[in-house]
Amino acid sequence: MSSTVLFTIIMLSLLGLLAAVILYVVAQKFKVVEDPRIDLVNEVLPGANCGGCGFTGCRAFSEVLVRSDSFEGLNCPVGGSETMGKAAVILDRQPVAVEPKIAVLRCNGTPEHSQRTSNYDGAMNCRVAHALYGGTTACHYGCLGCGDCVTSCKFDAMYMAPVTQLPVIIDDKCVACGACVKACPRNIIELRKRNRKDRKIYISCVNKDKGGPARKACSVACIGCGKCVKVCPYDAITMADNLAFIDSFKCKLCRKCVIECPTGAILEINFPVKEEKPAEHAVTEVN
Amino acid sequence: MFKTFPKGGIHPPENKITADKSVIVLPLPSTVTVPLNQHIGAPATPVVEKGSAVKTGQLIAQAKGFVSANIHSPVSGKVSKIEPVADSTGYKQMSIIIDAEGDEWVETTDRSATLVKEITMTREQIVERCRDCGLVGLGGATFPTHIKMTVPSGKKCDMLIINGVECEPYLTSDHRLMIEKGPEVLTGVTIIMKALGVTQAVIGIEANKPDAISTLAGLSKEFAGISVVALKVKYPQGGEKQLIKACTGREVPSGGLPLDVGVVVQNVGTAFAVYEAVQKNKPLIERVVTVTGKSVSRPGNFLVRIGTPVTKLIEAAGGMPDDTGKVVNGGPMMGKALAMTDVPVTKGTSGIILFPEPESRREEMMPCIRCGKCSSACAMGLEPWLLSVLSEKAMFEKAEADKITDCMECGACAYTCPAKRPLLDYIRLGKTTVIKMVRERITK
């Protein structure tokens, strides 16, 4: 009886010892040395895994940050300068100032502006619709309204407006990760510089047709007349393929182009109401 | 019993309303819009300018590259514009717009109706002529015919199959052609046989066209090597691979071409166009289009010039009925709805179908219940429900492994789906993405 107990104890001890030796050898053989700073950087990143930085997730981005010599060209659009500053402290690098951005929708083809010429009956997916045909309006550059961008947004910063049939970007929530830009098969969404009080001036149209057909398809289309290019004092506006483009980094928000545009394709958003227009309004404010 | 392909297939209501309507020649339109890309491959380059006077049958755009086709003027008159015009997809593409004046043909074309049976041209001359005349496959895929007529070195071809199946419901243009132009079609088949160097040709016709079967079977006795096979009515029998399997029992391997099993398939419409091109030197400037629909007052088959606006065709069929909900270009299974009717007829337009409003709408989509009906219907042995989900979720590598590129987009899966899921919409998206992916991999 006692010999059985003794035998069992000896056997188990030997087995345990053997396993310990094997585990030790394996652990030494397959040891992975990881920079402990990766974990530290990963902790300060937002953890949204949105891919806005251009890498597969926050972990991948922290590995890139630790490996790289400088922060040039690297940015977390969600955390912005604050997060990048924290990462810079951990890694003892020079933080690179990056302008915060915001997504804007460059289409204003609401049913009011752009007449519907057909109904779309297929799968509610912009890429499917885009591959299939020109769209429900005569403009085959504009928004298809199936909401791929809204589905792609991980920050709840977009929704489809039922009246305009266009997606709406909520300024406060948008982090400019660029997921919607990639999702849109028609390249309507653009990342622009985020200005004070989220003020925006941009061409809300991507139609590259000549003036006549563009205007026929949509009343607020850019007809490529070039008036805005001439009036801009900062050379911020360029014209290519009958379509104007305002460089958001050159634009000083003077709003001269907005008044000049004959079709109203240039939108000004989040600006206070102009003083000269409603006179009574100005008076009440003074009082 | 009748022969058919073994895997999958469906049998939608045939609705061949216009089966007994003789082909009517449509009056010449006042203007034609000729798109430069009416075929698979690179768009043709215009060789005329704004203001040029052109004759019917004159070359107006030259093929650019190997996979491309010449385009000829369908009318005589003056080129009024060369500019981008919206085609049947709603996207704009370069087109030549010609104002018609009279109908003066190029002198080289023999316009008499006499049947010329004797083939004097050599193989090379036949291929050359088909290329010059801008022939493309008229079944709908519009693949340039001269390429299919040239057997590449290392491949062997021992049989020609002529596609007279017309398995799409409603369409009857090929059916009428077989009945009315039987001898011409068979001469065309003989010409293609000569170009390919084969001694054997099979014309596959579905059993719902007994008149076409008897006509061609009777006539084929005068032509060496041509036989007619009656096939069971089953969609998508007109698919190349299905037709080969049904007629010969040979199976084209996944990702392969019919030539891998020694077969070339051509449509009856193409055979007729080959006859006209080779024997009469007539370029491809007109085709038979079925205009039909349950509420259309005068449905029929019309011989129209390429570039004629679809509105003219609808007028000829008695105008658009008030209850029209959708106008489809092509067959009801594979055709595409038109975003507008002011688009031109192209080389690939086989039919215009006007669906009444209640029939035209898709039903409300429900969740997939994994019933497997789509897999049973798929003639390629694929799993449409899976491919559709993979495409929707952008898992294209997995879709490629599951052979999404074998899909021929026949739509049998979406037709049979009890949950009314838009299976084909997503599969098509996945297929194009996978093809692009594969191409990028090769060029890398």
Whole-angstrom distance, CA of residue B300 vs CA of residue B317: 7
Beta-strand relationship, B336-337 and B45-46: unpaired
Question: Which tens digit of pLDDT belongs to each residue from B97-151?
Answer: 999 998 899 998 888 888 888 889 999 999 999 999 999 999 878 999 999 998 8
B289, two tokens? 């289009």
Q: Which residues of B touch A135 (CB under 8 A)?
A: 90, 339
ipTM: 0.86
Distance from C-alpha of B55 to C-alpha of A162, rounded to nearest angstrom: 53
Distance from CA of A122 to the nearest CA of B (A): 7
Tell me which residue in A122, A127, A140 faces B91 most closely, judged by beta carbons.
A140
Contact B91 A133 (CB under 8 A): yes
Measured CA distances, B206 to A266, B33, B179, B229, B237 (Å): 60, 35, 14, 8, 8
> Is the CB of residue B393 less than 8 Å away from at least one CB of chain A?
no
The closest CB to that of A128, out of B90, B91, B426, belongs to: B426
Pairwise CA distance, residues B80 & B265, whole Å: 39
- Residues from chain A contacting residue B92 (CB–CB below 8 Å): 140, 209
CA A49, distance to chain mean position in Å, is 13
Pick the CATH number of A36-91 from 1.10.15, 2.30.30, 3.40.1350, 2.60.40: 1.10.15
A134 → closest Cβ in B86, B360, B362: B86
Of B91, B339, B429, the CB nearest to A128: B429
pTM, full prediction:
0.86
Q: Which of A118, A128, A140 sits opposite B425 (nearest CB)?
A: A128
Whether B92 sits inside 8 A of A140 (CB atoms) is yes
CA distance B53 to A198: 58
State how far residue A178 is from chain B, nearest Cα, in angstroms.
17
Query: Chain A: nearest CA to B414, how far in angstroms?
Result: 11
**Distance separating alpha carbons of residues B345 and B304, to the nearest angstrom:** 8
Whether the per-residue pLDDT at A54 is higher than 90: the answer is no
Any idea which residue has 């071409």 for tokens? B257
Q: Considering only CB atoms, which chain A residues are within 8 Å of B425? A: 122-123, 125, 128, 132
Tokens read off for B13 = 């209501």
For B362, the token pair is 């898709």
Cα A56 versus chain centre, distance: 15
For residue A246, what is the enclosing H or E element?
Answer: strand A243-246
The residue with tokens 């086709």 is B69
Is domain B123-280 classified as CATH 3.40.50.10470? no
Q: Would you identify the CATH topology of the domain A101-269?
A: Alpha-Beta Plaits (3.30.70)
B30-61 pLDDT, tens digit per residue, is: 999 999 999 988 999 999 999 999 999 999 99
B432 touching A (Cβ < 8 Å): yes
Contact map slice: A 121-140 vs B, CB within 8 A: 121-123, 125, 127-128, 131-136, 138, 140
By CA distance, what is B430's nearest residue in A? A128
CA distances from A156 to A76, A103, A186, A269, B358 (A): 18, 13, 21, 21, 37
Q: What ranges do the domains of chain A cover?
A: 36-91, 101-269
Give A141 to chain B, closest Cα distance, Å. 9
> Averaged in consecutive runs of 10 residues, what is the pLDDT profile of chain B (444 residues)?
90 93 94 92 92 93 90 94 88 92 90 88 92 91 90 90 94 94 94 94 94 94 93 93 94 92 94 94 94 94 94 93 92 90 92 91 91 95 95 93 94 94 94 94 87
> B366: part of which helix (H) or strand (E)?
none
% of chain B beyond a pLDDT of 90:
82
Q: Tell me the pLDDT tens digit for each residue of A149-203.
A: 999 998 999 999 999 999 999 999 998 889 999 999 999 999 999 888 889 999 9
- Whether B336 sits inside 8 A of A123 (CB atoms) is no
CA neighbor of A185 nearest in space, from A215, A149, A160? A149
Q: Within an 8 Å CB–CB cutoff, is residue A9 touching chain B?
A: no
* Separation of alpha carbons A225 and B172, rounded Å: 50
Q: Where are the domains of chain B?
A: 29-100, 123-280, 373-443
For A142, name the nearest residue in chain B, comparing CA atoms only: B91
Q: Tokens in use for B8?
A: 């999958």
Q: What CATH code is assigned to B29-100?
A: 2.40.50.100
